[in-house]
Structure 1
Amino acid sequence: MTPPASAGPPASAGSAGGPGRATAARYPFSAVVGMADLKLALLINAVSPGVGGVLVRGEKGTAKSTIVRALAGLLPPLEVVPGCRFSCAPDAPDPGCPDGPHPAGAAEERAARLVELPVGASEDRLTGSLDIERALTEGVKAFEPGLLAAAHRGVLYVDEVNLLHDHLVDLLLDAAAMGESYVEREGVSVRHAARFLLVGTMNPEEGELRPQLLDRFGLTVEVAATRDPDERAEVVRRRLRFEDDPAGFAAGWAGGEAELAARIAAARERLPGVALTDAALRQITAVCASFEVDGLRADLVTARAAIALAAWHGRDAVTSDDVRTAARLALPHRRRRDPFDAPGLDRERLDEILEEHADPGEQPEPDDDPDGPGGPDDGGGPGGSGGLEGGDPSGPPQEGAGSDPSVEDGPGGGRSAESEPAPADAAYKPRLFTVPGVGAGAPGRRSKARSPFGRVSGARPGARGLHLTATLRAAAPHQRARGRSGPGLVVAPDDLREAVRDGREGNLVLFVVDASGSMAARKRMRAVKGAVLSLLLDAYQRRDKVGLVTFRGAGAELALPPTSSVEAGARRLDRLPTGGRTPLSAGLLRAAEVLRVERLRDPARRPLAVLVTDGRATHGPDPAAAAGRLAGALGNGASVVVDCESGPVRLGLAAALGSRLGAETVRLDDLAADGLAGVVRGARRSAA
């Protein structure tokens, strides 16, 4: 069995009609097993798009994309103006629509769209731009709409939204905030409506989302694959049936899909009549204030979600149960104070607040829909998909304490117990540092680079990222010689010019830390960990990648593979043990291997190695040869050596190691004032 190209394991992921599939059949929404909170969050937004969309966080292969794409088949059809590329409603067309003015009374019906935004899309693909073909052939200035226009009154879906480039994130933020898209580029000035249901999926292991975009999602849901063997078997069973006969499988669930679609339409009609009582509103504001969420968007989103829930359940007024469910979907991602905090909500505290501010006359509502809209059956045939509010999905297994042995070889060749992991000093805001020169790595916010997404600083011959003005300027002097007639320009291949853009790149900061017995002093490791955490936080904000190699005992390990996930980095650093001998050569060689592999994966990303050691080597060969390997692996990157040697007599081993690496060497005692990031910045300025 071959899984779909967009899927993880075939049991629970993939999209019918997605990349790699020959059929246009869509996996039915009601056929997805479990995923109660995710189904409910999507249905809340289908009832009330004003809630603001859904962010789906979860491990790979958990049907995130499958269920989001399945939602489109349940949305009510739209009335649109015929021929309008911006989906204007016939009864209330956009007065500023670029395709307007529209004739009165003209209308046609079409299905609601689900528009997918690829993470590698260009800016003009998202917002639209000048129609270059018409400009060059007809000599007219015409606007070609982008994905924001196509998604108006529909769903805009971003898979792996946490990997979206910053320039696209900024455009999404503007459109989501204003409900409009403004295009000012290449001589085109256009404004059009862009109100859409924003749905994003992400794997937190691949990095976190910018706080500004995170807050724009109305609801968030954590998903994980079930650990119940029977339920997993049912997922596999249904997926295999779908892949054998997509059309037949979808037809078998047509009844459940029609029932869900009808219920969404009925809830939309009921929505304007649902009352948000003063008691329910007081509960909402009390919950948001007690959990100390920033701003008032959380209050508004919770209120809208509670109203939509009441409409979904056929109620005329919001109840405490509606507020409870809305709060646990709307607040977790808004309680994060920094990227080290995992999203979550204290359920017991939530119940206490709701009870404290409840209307004394309100009676608990009976569960009038215990099995969800699909019916009570969640077996292998049509009719059920599990209760929409029944229980949370099983969480991922907790990471263990690591595979490090409890004892390591001591300096004398015996066994010595390792120290308990030292806590880290508090993270601080590090000073900016950059790698000298001009790179061409992944878009970021740190070092100078040539980037396809930066500020236009010039033009050069080429056809990638066409610079229209420069192209027209190059072609203009040759029009008479080329026998031009009519309004169009005669353009030759040699006239084409591409834009030269100055931007910023993200770097790979690789820490190589001595965790042996000589470094076991808590004060020393606390300072090192605090500095690493500070740079990890800074890397999140500047779109860097950070890795951690540690060496102790008889060898070295990659404690943190290069990543942008601050949560993963914080967990690994928190439990980093110390003790044993000092295999310095092993640490240098492991770092060189990590850089070699990363260069193959991402050859344009420039590295910066930060070696934290006292220079001693009590196990393994002399580190001179290993230092040469590491220096070669750095390529066009740079390195810093932090000298941790202490005491009245200093051997200068770390300084000698720095010389072999061509690195700036600084003493650990000098880190106290500015932190490790300040030293790195100073070293890079010296190198420049």
Structure 2
Amino acid sequence: MVERRNVLPFTAIVGQEKAKLALLVAAVNPAVGGVLLSGDKGTGKTTLVRALADLLPEIEVVADCPFGCNPRNPLEMCDSCYEKAVNGGDLKVARRKMKVVDLPLSITVDRLVGTLDIKRALKEGIRALQPGLLAEANRNILYIDEVNLLEDYVADVLLDSAAMGWNIVEREGISVRHPARFILVGSMNPEEGELRPQILDRFGLFVSIEAPLDPDTRIEVVKRVEEFQSDPISFAERYRPLQEELRRKVVKAREIINEVAVPDDLLQLLAKSVVEMGIRTHRAEIVTVKAAKAIAALDGRKTVNLEDLKKAMELALPHRIKSRPFEEPPQPPKPPEDRSPQEDESKRRDEKEQGKGEQKGKKMENSSTVPPSLGNKEEKFSAEEVDMENEKALKLKDRFQRARGSRSVRTTVIDNPHGAPISYTTPRHDPHDIDLTATMISAILRKSPVIEEGDIRVRVRKARTKRLCAILLDSSGSMAAMRRIRIAKGIAMNFIKNAYVKRDELALICFKGAKSDVLAHPTRRYNDVLRLLDGVKTGGRTPLPSALHNLATMARIFKEKYKNAVVTGILVTDGKANVPLGGDIKEEMERLCKMLKRMNVKLEIYDTRPSGVIDPAPSFIDLMAKLTDAEVHRI
């Protein structure tokens, strides 16, 4: 009986040609390292992946092997199959369709890599592996939806297996390894946060998927979906010839892929282009060459041409151009401008006026007093690197260096189903996160077929502490004096980069005029926060109580959402609060500071008041430090 698959045919999908090509390349040569599809919700990412599995030809596997080993290649066999093949044993061969193995975000390490086979342990008294998801994914498609939300500890295990092509299990007395060679496909919505750079670089190909804006194309999408849902069998039959033709191309490409050659002049062009783009990883050239060969093989050719290389570069390089966090992609040089003599004279006058303005600004910076009218109008200043060379700033420099080098904070949790399991123990209360393997072993050691209450064990896990770094940036008019806002933005930029390293949630609150504004609610889209920071303008009064109130509200919501969360407020200000919420400003400041301390919100204050400057306006920094036990750093 023919199995009926309710999957939209690959050739029936409208548009998304670049994504289709990337998936076909990975199908021809899985060594490219997988495909990452990035785009908004509802753009067909999952549909493409499932359609690919339905398109691909059947594969040969060892019939009785739980890992689906390749019977024709000893290098892709588990230890058991390899031993049989070497000793001349008979490996029964079966054929089966490739399938999509979904990796859920809530998966545990036991389910991913495998664990003790309880049934065999009880019946036969031996320790054998119960295969996990990596065994099921071998020689199939491993699909991770919302891969940017995958827990770090699961991603680490997955990266090891993807890099080596083998899953090595060492636990509960088990020592087993088996092949784990799969087509890795991930999808993500960039609005929900960036992907860890370690995982991003593992994906050989990257495609940004966008919904078509052409009305006719969108109408065609609706029509095909309606036709497919009303009668999927007839719809699939209509596209069967196209499916078979494309399937034959994939099979032929797999056969000739190792014979495809890349001319030296194209290799020279590729290497030169990668260097000019500022890409540092060698994986860029390696993956591009593999992809170009696969594209040529799909076209039935054994020599890569320039068009193949261009297509491959479009798939393999976009996510590697920005090779370092927050580094802007290199910009091509601007062509020389063709100006008339009058335009040249106008530009010289503008540069002369600008020079006068800069001299005036330097005189202002050297002044020992702050003009009361400065900062009444909105001004925009760019961030400035914090001077870390003088003795007063050494502690701050050391702090930033330690922060960048430190890893995410992890805490030990017991009987809580979140985090990587590291051990087990007896339960203290009613058990929830039961370790079945350890529980069974306890009963086996007592030589009892019945599990008693004393045998129950619960997991001990290492869980990542959810953390929020909320930056409170004073952008009032007083921060324009001596361009303090440039230093303040530089400090905020350091903490944004620190949050990126630690994968912390990040928020940005700016306060000026009548109230504070939450420019960025808790997020992991760090580049967006940087852009918002760069656009902050100065001007107006200092509503510091409003900023502290927003911080308290944000901290309360975050702690309600995540148990044991840690919230840190980074307050960059001169402390000259002069806009109350509605009452006495000092009483409001005291009440808000006490509230933050009760909520266990750690406050760090970066005082932007320069030393040696006469400034009669009062500052609330000392009061805040006293009531919240905040650390104060003078810049």
- When the two structures are superposed, what TM-score results if normalisation uses the length of structure 2? 0.81
CA separation of 1:499 and 1:266: change in aligned 2, threshold 3 A: same
Shift of 1:79: 0.9
- Once residues 546 and 619 of structure 2 are traced to their aligned partners in structure 1, the CA distance between those partners, rounded to angstroms, is 20
* Residues 344/325 of structure 1: CA separation in 2 closer, same or farther (3 Å cut): farther
Write the mapping of 1:524-543 to structure 2, written as runs, cut at 5 A.
524-543=484-503
Instruction: Give the equivalent residue in structure 2 for 1:101.
Output: 84
The residue number in structure 1 matching 2:608 is 644
1: CA distance, partners of 2:564 / 2:533: 27
Equivalent of residue 625 in structure 1, options 583, 588, 595: 588
The reply on whether 1:635 has 2:617 as its aligned counterpart is no
Whole-angstrom CA distance in 2 between matches of 1:626 and 1:134 = 66
- For residues 386-425 of structure 1, the aligned pairs below 5 Å read 416-425=376-385
Give the corresponding residue for 2:392.
none
Contact 2:508 2:518 survives alignment (8 Å): yes
Number of residue pairs the alignment of both structures matches: 567
TM-score (norm 1): 0.75
1:584 equivalent to 2:554? Answer no
Superposition deviation, residue 77 in structure 1: 0.7
- For 2:451 and 2:505, the matched residues in 1 are separated by 43
Please state how far the C-alpha of 1:111 moved relative to its aligned partner: 0.2
Question: Counterpart of 2:60 in structure 1: which amino acid?
Answer: E
Q: CA deviation at 1:245?
A: 4.3
What is the deviation of 1:300?
1.7
1:454-469 alignment, distance < 5 Å: 454=420, 456=422, 459-461=425-427, 462=431, 464-466=433-435, 468-469=437-438
1:201 matched to 2:187? The reply is: yes
Deviation at 1:417, TM superposition (A): 2.6
Offset, 1:334: 2.1
**Compared with structure 1, are the counterparts of its residues 147 and 474 closer, same or farther at alpha carbon in structure 2 (3 Å cutoff)?**
closer
- 2-side partners of 1:250 and 1:552: how far apart? 61
The answer for unaligned runs of 5 or more in structure 1 is 1-22, 350-410, 435-443, 670-688
Matched, 1:82 2:49: no
The alpha-carbon deviation at position 179 of structure 1 amounts to: 1.2
> Structure 2: which 5+ residue stretches go unaligned?
336-370, 388-396
Query: Is the Cα–Cα contact under 8 Å of residues 77 and 179 in structure 2 kept in the other structure?
Result: no
Matches within 5 A, 1:495-506: 495-506=455-466
For residues 334 and 123 of structure 2, the distance between their equivalents in structure 1, rounded to whole angstroms, comes to 66
Contact 1:642 1:654 in 2 (8 A): no
Q: Is the contact made by 1:161 and 1:202 (CA closer than 8 Å) also made in structure 2?
A: yes
Q: Which residue of 1 is the match for residue 624 of structure 2? A: 657
Secondary structure (helix, strand or coil) at the match of 1:275 reads: coil
Q: Secondary structure at the match of 2:632?
A: strand
Q: Where has structure 1 moved over 6 Å in runs of 4 or more?
A: 342-349, 411-415, 426-429
Would the alpha carbon gap of residues 571 and 239 (structure 1) be closer, same or farther in structure 2, given more than 3 Å must change?
Answer: farther
Match of 1:600 among 560, 572, 581: 560
2: CA distance, partners of 1:283 / 1:645: 53
1:328 to 284, 298, 314: 314
Residue 363 of structure 1 corresponds to none
> For the residues of structure 2 that align with 1:667 and 1:433, how far apart are their CA atoms?
16
- Give the AA of the match of 1:466: D
Going from structure 1 to structure 2, the CA distance change for 1:600 and 1:310 (only over 3 Å counts) comes to same
Query: Does the CA-based 8 Å contact 2:249-2:299 persist in structure 1?
Result: no
Structure-1 separation of matches of 2:386 and 2:51: 45
Q: 1:114 to 1:449 in 2, by over 3 A?
A: same
Decide whether the 8 Å contact of 2:545 with 2:592 is kept in 1. Answer: no
Residues of 1 paired with 2:246 and 2:331: CA distance? Answer: 29
The verdict on how the C-alpha distance between 1:412 and 1:339 changes in structure 2, with shifts beyond 3 A counting, is: same
Map 1:182-581 onto structure 2 (within 5 A).
Answer: 182-341=168-327, 416-425=376-385, 430-432=400-402, 445-446=408-409, 448-450=411-413, 452-454=418-420, 456=422, 459-461=425-427, 462=431, 464-466=433-435, 468-469=437-438, 472-473=441-442, 476=445, 479=447, 484=448, 489-521=449-481, 523-581=483-541
Match of 1:147 among 100, 113, 133: 133
Aligned residues with identical type, % of pairs: 38
Cα distance in 2 for partners of 1:304, 1:540 equals 31
Paired with 1:344 and 1:149, the residues of 2 have a C-alpha distance of 42
Alpha-carbon distance change, 468 to 447 in structure 1, aligned in 2, over 3 angstroms: closer
Does structure 2 conserve the Cα–Cα contact (< 8 Å) formed by 1:507 and 1:545?
A: yes
- Tell whether the 8 Å contact from 1:118 to 1:158 is kept in structure 2 after alignment: yes
Output the amino acid matched with 1:101.
K
Instruction: In structure 2, give the amino acid aligned to 1:48.
Output: N
Range that drifts further, 537-546 or 191-200? 537-546
Q: Which has the higher helix share?
A: 2
Counterpart Cα distance in 1 of 2:373 and 2:558: 35
> 2:606 corresponds to which letter in structure 1?
V
- Residue 86 (structure 1) shift: 0.9
Cα separation, 2, equivalents of 1:526 and 1:415: 14
Q: Deviations over 1:426-456 (max 9, x none)?
A: 798824469xxxxxxxxx7125453843573
TM superposition shift of 1:70: 1.6
Q: Counterpart of 2:354?
A: none
